[in-house]
Amino acid sequence: MLPTVTKSGEGTNFLDALFTATSAICVTGLSTLTVADHYNIWGQGILLILIEIGGIGFMSIPVFFYILARKRVHLSTRMILRETLNLDRMSGEIHLAWYIIRFAFLIQVSGAVLLSFAFVPRFGWRQGLWYSVFHAISAFCNACLATVWSDFRMNRLC
């Protein structure tokens, strides 16, 4: 809803912001606003974080931060992670979550590199790389929110 995340400098109304944020974290790809026209890079970045959390899974993100901080994962977190990953036994869930995060990152980086061959020549390095990263993550997480609608003059990119 902040005015600093929109291109016009005006805030987004509550229902549009709630709907767009919920859609991003649930990776449905629906939006009442055109992401490319309404949000600036900061707003698109926030949407990208929500898409990533929804796509990889809300329990994989804490495991990532536990591993980065070299902290021990608590039993309650392990039990929730086991249920989230639909595992039968209590062993290997941290390794599996770490594998999922690394594999997802590898696929998203690969997608961004491939998309950059199309976007960078058309939009330049800065904007082309941003479009590549945004669309690689959005496509991997099946969110289908696009940032180049107005640039391609299309109703829908995905």
- How much is the pTM? 0.75
Which residues 6+ apart lie within 8 Å of 125 measured at CB? none
Closest CA to 145 of 39, 40, 27, 12: 27
Given a contact cutoff of 8 angstroms between Cβ atoms, the answer to whether 27 and 143 are in contact is yes
Question: Which pLDDT score is estimated for 151?
Answer: 46
**Chunked mean pLDDT (size 10), the chain, 158 residues:** 90 91 84 85 91 78 73 75 71 74 91 94 92 90 67 44
What ranges do the domains of the chain cover?
3-152
Residues 124-148, buried b or exposed e (16+ Cβ, 10 A)? eeebbbbbbbbbbbbbbbebbbbbb
